Amino acid sequence: MLFFESLSNPLLKILDLPNVVKIAKKHNLITIIDNTFLTPYNLCPLDYGIDLVVHSATKYLNGHSDIIAGLAVGRKSLIEEIWEKMVRLGASMDPHQAFLLERGLKTFSLRMQRHNENGKRIAEYLEIHPKINKVIYPGLKSYPQRELVSSLLKTGYSGMVSFEIKGGNETGLKFMRNLKIIREATSLGGVESLISMPFNTSHAGLTKEEKDRIGIKEGLIRLSCGIEDAEDLIEDIDQALSAVH
């Protein structure tokens, strides 16, 4: 099988879905995409012939950072195999989590509109800030896979923004800890903005060479823009950046 993310963590790279599907068909492989970052609001991978879509519902789908859940979507024959294992292994949600997820889903499209808007506003703000080296966001003109993005993403680009602060990891940590509204935590996709640095979280297990090779540079920060007022978030980032040298 081919297993990949629709928008990768934390460098936000996007894959050429029609081509991936073509390659998979040629070699008789099943395609599985983790669509957690883009969500069905921004991308429906089944439309491109992807076999299975998986989501961490812990993130945008629930949206309130108060449950752990996941799901798989696809044709019946594949889901039946997953279902059997799920029942045997006991990976079932308890009723309260199911209730919270269902409640969260009622505001999903409204939340995504705001996540998309805030992500774009903040990426554009960061891109021209003198203390920032580079901003990665699929909605920016500077995004390297711009053509692919405009053919795949019609609605928006989510609230995930990655950027490199000048001065490296130490400066990054100071900046994060100066923030007053945005909180330092490893999760994402909730109504509240969360920020983290891959070097001491998701990619802490990699050596310096491995990080260099995949492009996790010094000072890389990952921001999950929540649904707060964009002006408040920008003001918070602004004051936190002013206080680092």
Ligand X SMILES: *Cc1c(COP(=O)(O)O)cnc(C)c1O
The binding site for ligand X (CB under 6 A) comprises 5, 9, 34, 36-37, 56, 58-59, 68, 70
Closer residue to ligand X in complex, CB, 34/218: 34
Least distance to ligand X from the beta carbon of 56, Å? 3
Residue nearest to ligand X (CB): 56
Cβ count near 235 (within 10 Å): 13
In the bound complex, what is the minimum distance in angstroms from residue 141's beta carbon to ligand X?
26
Nearer to ligand X, 82 or 234 (CB): 82
- Three-state SS at 216: coil
Inter-CA distances, 29 with 7, 36, 52, 196, Å: 21, 22, 12, 35
The total of other beta-carbon atoms located within 10 Å of residue 71's CB is 13
4: its two tokens:
């990949």
Nearer to ligand X, 5 or 16 (CB): 5
Q: How far is the CB of 166 from ligand X (least distance, A)?
A: 27
The CA-atom distances, in angstroms, between 165 and each of 25, 32, 172, 174 are 42, 34, 6, 11
Residue 133 CA to residue 192 CA, distance in Å, equals 25
- By beta-carbon proximity to ligand X, the closer residue of 58 and 116 is 58
Q: Minimum CB separation from ligand X for residue 139, in Å?
A: 19
